[in-house]
Structure 1
Amino acid sequence: MKKDSLTGKHIVFIAGEDEYMSEITLPQVAKEISDGHGARVTVLTASPEPKESANLPGLEKLASVDLIVLYLRFRELPEEQFRPLLAYVQSGKPILGFRTSTHSFRYPEGHPLEEWNSRFGIEVLGAPWIRHYGHSSSTDVSICRGAEHHPIVEGLPSSFHVRSWLYHVLPYPPEGAQLLLNGHTVDPELKEQTINAPRIQPVAWTRRNAWGGNVFMTTLGHPEEFTMPEFRRLINNAIHWLLKEDEGR
């Protein structure tokens, strides 16, 4: 892709989780996108540290940006921070989501925003949190049949191995999503909830969300994956595809 292929675009990377080191990996991706493709980038992180679930300053900047990249997990943001994020989503602009963003929020029972604990994953990204196959397991990834020529998987090998333990997402994402990558769990921890669960699950897809915004969602995102050329290519392709699709609307 051309060095200036994203010139004039503003992308905001939002890191708000304390399990997968997104406060380190997302700035690396942002630098690559800025240095390599000319995009203007902004990185927002939980403050004062990743485990702080109730403060993610800078979300008021979203009104004028072209794309947001989310890596969130169990946040309890105050309304004045949540509302600009929701306004961006409801404007129909594009979104890229990683792994735990399926369960971005965990508001307490009775909170005015409690419904978004499940609605965000389902309606925005295409899947809620269900379960995983155990931290000691890993995943074999392959391109879905029929997706071989999609621009997001261009340049990827037909299969590759990742450290991420597989997330159970079926029966999601909903009808109309374009499945891009499947994951096959390797050495799963066979517990009551997983022993009879399907060993193959979607791990990357695109969709048009409830407000018309184009979405790329992947349940991958272990820190080791961010060092893999295959995964970096996937992210790069997805960012370009989302912005190109948005231009064509």
Structure 2
Amino acid sequence: MMLKPRLFLILCAVICCISITAFASPPKPGKDKKPLVVFVTGDHEYSGEATLPLIAAELEKNYGMRTIVLKAYPDHNAEKNIPGLEVLKDADLVVFYLRWRQLPKEQLAHIEAYLKTGKPVMGFRTTTHAFNYPEGDENEKWNAFGEFALNAPPGWGGKAAHTHYGHNSSTDVSVIAAQANNPILTGVSPNFHVRSWLYRVLPDYPTKGSTWLLMGKSVNPDKEAIENPVAWTGTNSFGGKVFMTTMGHPDDFQLEPFQHLIINAIHWELGQKVPKSWKGRIDINVPYREAK
């Protein structure tokens, strides 16, 4: 049977398309997918559940990321429930701002599973003592979260001598000279002042192998004070990249150097280049509240 010329050409075109489709390399899954940053919040004192959503919004608006913010329920003082942690399985970076939680083991399992992937983690201030289980509790090992996840002291006080220099003090922050060209410090002022009272982490922390980025000097301390690192990077015990800062008072979040530091660090954690152009100061105005 002879095909009409027009029908013959159409048939050839269809066969050609099928052949190309059959032998073309399939698109790589997730190649163009925006990274997902999950913020896990729950602290009695520093309003992390209010400051970090504003950072999240900035990441979505200006830096091409997806974000999810998880909060303690029903409020920041609720120590035993942070709904939604199952989403950590899809996260590319998890940012923690916690203080003395006692989450059930079912929720801890989601955090542990994420850590075991070796994906990056970030922590703010009281996350050095994120958990506070009583002695003998089946989840007591989580009291050392600061150490095994963030290269920070394992909890508050105790053998780590982890303390601070009084609520009436504040901190002068300076870039450590050897790290002046570190990409995380791109555009960050070499000297600035934060409201956070200085945490003492020395002499044993940050853990060996960590890179100190910023040094803090206590202003108006309530006891004899020494300078301490206030931000560092490293690799944790699961092989994940770490960025940790002991800053994080809500007044700190108003400061452009601190905001710039956070945005840079998030990009670094995700393996992305630090943005060449700073999108400008983020409007963050959140009050401090005394811890219960």
TM-score (norm 1): 0.91
Output the amino acid matched with 1:217.
M
Distance 2:33 2:182 in 1: 23
| 1:121 corresponds to which of 146, 152, 167 | 146
Partner residue of 1:206? 233
Pairs aligned (count): 234
Partner of 2:280: none
Does the 8 Å CA contact 1:132/1:167 hold for their aligned counterparts? yes
CA distance in 2, matches of 1:122, 1:16: 19
Question: RMSD across aligned C-alpha pairs, in angstroms?
Answer: 1.4
Give the superposition deviation at 1:12: 0.3
Report the secondary structure of 2:222's partner residue. Answer: coil
Partner of 2:138: 112
Q: How does 1:1-249 map to 2 (within 5 A)?
A: 8-118=34-144, 120-128=145-153, 129=156, 130-171=162-203, 172-190=205-223, 195=224, 198-244=225-271
Point out where structure 2 has 5 or more consecutive residues left out of the alignment.
1-31, 157-161, 274-292
Asked whether the 8 Å contact 1:7–1:38 carries over to 2, the reply is no
Shift of 1:208: 0.4
Alpha-carbon deviation of 1:145? Answer: 2.2
Q: Report the AA paired with residue 47 of structure 2.
A: M
- CA 158–7 in structure 1, closer or farther in 2 if over 3 Å, else same: farther
The Cα shift of 1:7 comes to 6.1
> How many angstroms apart in 2 are the aligned matches of 1:17 and 1:187?
25
Shift of 1:108: 1.2
Q: Distance in 1 between matches of 2:122 and 2:107?
A: 19
- 2: CA distance between counterparts of 1:138 and 1:226? 14
Deviations 1:26-59 (A, max 9, x none): 1000001111112111000000000000000011
- SS of 2:167's equivalent in the other structure is coil
In 2, distance between residues paired with 1:158 and 1:167? 20
- Identify the residue that residue 278 of structure 2 maps to in structure 1: none
Take 1:163 and 1:84, find their aligned partners in 2: how far apart are those partners?
33
Deviations 1:152-194 (A, max 9, x none): 111011110000000000120122111000000000012xxxx
Match of 1:3 in 2: none
Mark the structure with the bigger radius of gyration.
2
Offset, 1:116: 1.6
Against the structure 1 CA distance between its residues 25 and 7, is the aligned structure 2 distance closer, same or farther, given a 3 Å change threshold? farther
CA contact (8 A) 1:7 1:37 kept: no
- Contact 1:7/1:40 (<8 A) preserved: no
Structure 1, unmatched stretches of 5+, are: 1-5
Task: Measure, in 1, the Cα distance between the counterparts of 2:249 and 2:96.
Answer: 14
| SS, match of residue 44 in structure 2 | coil
Whole-Å Cα distance in 1 between the matches of residues 54 and 206 of structure 2? 28
Query: In structure 1, what is the Cα distance between the partners aligned to 2:111 and 2:82?
Result: 11
